Amino acid sequence: MIHVDRVIVVEGKYDRIALSKIIDGVIVETGGFGIFSDHQRLEMIRTLAKEKGLILLTDSDRSGMAIRNYLIGAIGPQYIQNAYIPDCYGKEKRKLHPSSEGKLGVEGMSESTLLSILKFASAPKNTEKEPITNADLYNAGLLGNPESKRMRMKYQQALGLPAHLSPRKFSEILNLLRSREEFLREIEELLR
User: Does residue 128 fall inside a structural domain?
Assistant: no
Closest CA to 141 of 161, 155, 162: 155
Residue ending a domain, choose from 80, 95, 122: 122
Q: What is the CATH number of the domain that holds 48?
A: 3.40.1360.10
Distance between CA atoms of residues 10 and 27, nearest Å = 7
Percentage of the chain exceeding pLDDT 90: 56
| Domain extent at residue 155 | 134-191
Q: Could you tell me if residue 127 is inside a domain? A: no
Total number of domains constituting the chain: 2
pLDDT greater than 90 at residue 156: no
Backbone angles phi, psi at 26, to 5 degrees: -90, 130
Same domain, 88 and 169: no
Per-residue b/e over 95-127, b at no fewer than 16 CB within 10 Å?
Answer: eeeebeeebbbbbbbeeebbbebbeebbeeeee
Strand partners, 54: 7, 80
pLDDT at 65: 93
Q: Are residues 142 and 181 in the same domain?
A: yes
pLDDT averaged over the chain? 90
